Each structure stands twice: as C-alpha cells, then as structure tokens.
Structure 1
Amino acid sequence: MDDADQDSLACARAGDAAAFKRLVQPHARPLYGLCARITRDPALAEDAVQEALFNAWRHLQSFDGRAGFRTWLHRIAVNAALEQLRRRGRQEATTECADADEDFLGSMAEELPGPDRRAQGAEVHRIAEIQLQRMSLIERTAFVMRHHEGHSLEEIAQTLAMNTNACKQAIFRAVRKLRVALEPLR
C-alpha cells in the first residue's frame, strides 16, 4: 500500500467517506468480475459487491495490515458472493454472466482464426462454462481467483480460510474437471 493509500486509509478510519471511496475505487471493477464469476449472475454479483464494500466500510477498523488491502477486500467480496448464493437458496447459479471482465475462454474463442476454429472455440467456451457451473463453490472460487484473477495460492488460501495444500487440491480438481470435459475436443 503506497503512502497515498495509507493516508486514505487513515482518513477513512476516521470516518471520511470520500477517502474510503478513493481507497476502494480501483478495486470495484475487479471485485465485480470476481463476484460475477463466483455467482454466475450479474445481479447477485452487484449485490455482493455492494455488500462487500459496505462490510469493508463497517469493519475498516479491523483491517490490521497482515494481509494486503486488496486481499482483505477480495476475501470480503468472496464471502459476500457466497452469502448471496446462500440467501437465494441456490447451490449453483446458472445464469450466464455476459458482463464479467477478462473472460479468458471467450477471448480464446475470439482469437482462433477461421470459421471452423471459431466454432471449435465457441464449443470450448460452452463446455467450460457448463463445467464451471458444475464445480463446487470452493473449486470454482479457487479456480477463478487463480486463473482469472491471478491471485497467489497463499492469497486464495487466506481468502477461502483454508490451508495452501487444500487450496492447491481445489484448483487441481477444477482443472482436472475442465480437462476431462474438454478432452473430446482434442
């Protein structure tokens, strides 16, 4: 956290809402992308981000700096997204999330040349999306945080309140499920 962020944090802790906004503004879009990938529903993702930011504001005094501010916010957002799914009584959300940023499978499908390759890329995207919906919430969340968001294993483990080995296993299971589902296309 740079000096400007430290100053904003200090002011936000003193009750300055504008300082809090400056502090979280750069994180809002990535938080939405993360929540959208977890919930698979744009409305739930928006609600989760709002809830996460509200909780961050409410619990800003408890931020102790042991984890980075970004990691702390992501943990709150993941918990808010999972809570949105629980509240709605859904084990898995099935709505496509067309607004999620940096859709790596979609971009992969778009980069493939020629109509045959584009059709194959679209099929890869479709199968991968179905498989992501079938994963457990922990597998999907760990996979999204690692392969979509680029978080380290330690950050993911801390966010999901699990040890690093359990985190690795969740990501491994998710990748294995995707590979098995995509194998027929090879």
Structure 2
Amino acid sequence: MEKAEKEAIRRVVAGDRDAYRVLMDRHYAAVFRISFRITGNEADAEEAAQESFLRAYNKLPEFRQDAAFGTWVTRIAMNTAMNLVERRNRDLSVYAPRVSDEVAEGTVQVASHRAGPERVLLDMETATLRHAAMASLTPMERTAFTLRHMEEVGMAEIAEALGVPVNSAKQAVFRAVAKLRRALEPVAGGMR
C-alpha cells in the first residue's frame, strides 16, 4: 500500500475525517465502475458506491493493512452492489413503469439523425436483450462474469472477492457465459 494511503488511514483513524477524501478520490472511479457493472444502472451504482465508502469509513479502524485499501473497498462495493441487486429483485415496485418512461399522447419522438429507424429499433432490441440476459444471472454469476470478462480480474482474486473457492468462482463464470449465450443466441444468429 502506498505511503500516502497509509498516512490517510492513520489520520482518519486518529479522528481527521477530511483525510478520507484522499482515499475516496483515488478509488471512487473503480468502485463506481464495478458497482455499475453489477447493478446495471447509474443510480443504483451511485448508491452502492456511496454506501461502500460509508461502510469502509466505519470499518476503517478494523482494516488490516496487509492488503491494499483499493482491493478492500472494491470487495465491499461488490458485496454492497450484489445485496442491492438482490433487494431490488425482491422489491417489485422497482419494475413498475416510471412516469417519465411513458410517452404522453401527442408527444412526438424524433429518431436519431445518425441511424435509420430500422437500425434504431434493432439497437434498442439488442440492448433490451443484453439487459435481460444480464438480469437473468444470479448476483454471484453477474459479479463473477463482470470481474472476469469486463474487468479482466484473475480467478483467484474473483474467488477471494466472492468469498468462495476458486472452483466455485470458475463455475459461476461458466454458468454465466452459458446463460448469456443461450439468451443472446437470437442476436448472434446462433453462431458460436
């Protein structure tokens, strides 16, 4: 761990709350990115990232400095984001249509100037299929897949972050890939 981070942690534990800004500034982008990839939307990612840093702040006196602060707070973020996704899945009101998503009568929607109507429609259908495919994964599968194929994290680190054996992490990635292939087969045209 860097000297500046160790010093910031020491100052926070000693009571200097402003020193925590150093840690947040250095790691917020990575925490937000992993939270976004797990939750699938910006608002939930923001909530998960903020909650992760709050939890890390409250647990900072217990932090063993044999690991990097970035690794530790990222693991907190993954758990927080997975818990948020599970909570959202249980809360059916999240899936109710929002008022802003509904098109009012008489409203004119203008198509993109860059693409024709067919391309816009196909892009929307593809995006919908991708989101549905990712949503069909369990939180563990989504996290394992995201870490492996989007963040390019090694299997040992994924297993450690998920708190499971390496073989379980490999299985989660394998199941996620298989589910995504099946779900996205219409888009890929059945190609392997």
Query: Using a 3 Å threshold, how does the CA distance of structure 1 residues 44 and 121 change in structure 2: closer, same or farther?
Result: closer
Match of 2:18 in 1: 18
Q: Distance in 1 between matches of 2:46 and 2:124?
A: 27
Q: What residue in structure 2 maps to residue 50 of structure 1?
A: 50
**Residue identity in the other structure for 1:166:** S
Alignment match of 1:137 (pick from 115, 136, 139)? 139
Q: For the structure 1 residues 118 and 2, does the alpha-carbon distance in structure 2 shift closer, same or farther, using more than 3 Å as the test?
A: farther
Which of 138, 150, 153 lines up with 2:152 in the alignment?
Answer: 150
The structure that has the greater radius of gyration is: 2
8 Å CA contact 2:82–2:143 kept in 1: the answer is no
1:181 pairs with 2:183:
yes
Distance of 2:87 and 2:35 partners within structure 1: 15
TM-score when normalising by structure 1: 0.75
Q: Any gaps of 5 or more consecutive residues in structure 2?
A: 97-114
The verdict on how the C-alpha distance between 1:13 and 1:155 changes in structure 2, with shifts beyond 3 A counting, is farther
Q: Partners of 1:175 and 1:84 in 2: how far apart?
A: 22
Q: Quick one: distance in 2 between partners of 1:70 and 1:165?
A: 25
The alignment partner of 1:181 has SS state of helix
- Give TM-score, length-normalised by structure 2: 0.73
CA distance in 1, matches of 2:74, 2:6: 18
Aligned residues: percent identity?
A: 36
The structure with higher relative contact order (CA 8 Å, sep 6+) is 1
Q: Is the 8 A contact 1:32 1:46 kept in 2?
A: yes
Aligned length in residues: 168
Which stretch shows the higher mean deviation, 48-57 or 30-39?
30-39
Change (3 A) 1:127 1:171: same
1:65 is paired with a residue whose SS is coil
In 2, the alpha carbon distance for the partners of 1:179 and 1:8 equals 45
Q: In structure 1, how many angstroms separate the alpha carbons of the residues matched to 2:86 and 2:135?
A: 15
> CA distance change for structure 1 residues 152 and 70 in 2, over 3 Å: closer, same or farther?
farther
Q: 1:41, 1:94 within 8 Å by CA — same for their partners in 2?
A: no
Contact 1:71/1:155 (CA < 8 Å) preserved in 2?
no
Distance 1:157 1:17 in 2: 32
How many Å separate the matches in 2 of 1:57 and 1:64?
A: 13
- 1:1-186 paired onto structure 2 within 5 Å: 1-88=1-88, 90=90, 125-184=127-186, 185=189, 186=191
Q: Which amino acid aligns with 2:174?
A: F
In 2, distance between residues paired with 1:56 and 1:35?
15
- Indicate if the aligned counterparts of 1:34 and 1:78 stay in contact, CA closer than 8 A: yes
1:82 CA displacement: 2.5
Return the alpha-carbon distance in structure 2 between the equivalents of residues 94 and 37 of structure 1: 19
